[in-house]
Structure 1
Amino acid sequence: MMKTLTSLVAASALALCMSAQVYAKDAGHTSEAMEHAGKAHAHGEDGHAKELLKHAKKSLDHAKHASKEHAEAHQHMDEAIKHLEEAIKHAEMGHADVATGHMDEAIKHMQKSGH
């Protein structure tokens, strides 16, 4: 009985540690996506489409990773990805103002993703 209880406690502790790593990794990608989205937005406000583009692409990469890791919890991250892709498209055309609007929406959805 004691051996079974000890095994159960050990298995539970291991499962908890493993799940914490998944959530920490997910939160890391979301955090990185937010950081680069904020930088892209700031550059967009200054009219710097090239710098906006660079940070929007990095934000998109991290947002996709976050979305894949916990898809069921990331409906908002999927919306953020759509806005990041639109921001990149408009930044490539030199439309910093339109791209900035999409960055704003992407940031809102990342915040609502809960991570």
Structure 2
Amino acid sequence: MKNILSILAMAAGVLLFSNGINASGYANKTESGGEGVGSMIQAIKHAERARTHKAHAEHILQNAEKSLEYAKKAEAEAIEGGNDKGRRPITESIRHLVEAINHAKMGHTDIASEHITDALEQMHQFATQ
């Protein structure tokens, strides 16, 4: 029961956070006026899903891989858009996602979850720049 409540709380947080980004206009532009951060928002959503599956390595792996795909796309968009300030958080989030994927493949769910949390911190930093 405690896990269900935790998952529901996380889901509510994801919905509130993603709506806040969309409402504030972050989904359509970056500070530099380049490409949008829509890919990063998708990366965040998948990373949040990965984090809710703390005890299930396969679910962490699937969502972390999807998050990594979107984070790499966001990195390409930041480079194309000339967003130099955004590149460091994206690079760090990608590094943490790769580590999370590697640990999830080995069944180290606790370590994978820690890397997901660190990746999310960097993603949020990018999205709010």
Letter in 2 for 1:81: I
Listed as ranges, the gaps of 5+ residues in structure 2 are 1-27
1:49 aligns to 2:62 (yes or no): no
1:31 aligns to 2:41 (yes or no): yes
Q: When you count helix as a share of all residues, which structure comes out higher?
A: 1
Letter in 2 for 1:74: R
% of aligned pairs identical?
Answer: 36
Indicate conservation of the 8 Å contact 2:41/2:127, yes or no: no
Q: Which runs of 4+ in 1 moved over 4 A?
A: 20-25
Deviation of the 1:27 alpha carbon: 1.5
The whole-number CA distance in structure 2 between the counterparts of 1:25 and 1:40 is 26
Deviation of the 1:21 alpha carbon: 7.3
The whole-number CA distance in structure 2 between the counterparts of 1:74 and 1:54 is 24
Aligned to 2:12: none
The whole-number CA distance in structure 2 between the counterparts of 1:48 and 1:57 is 14
Listed as ranges, the gaps of 5+ residues in structure 1 are 1-19
Compute the TM-score of the two structures, normalised by the length of structure 1.
Answer: 0.75
Compute the TM-score of the two structures, normalised by the length of structure 2.
Answer: 0.67
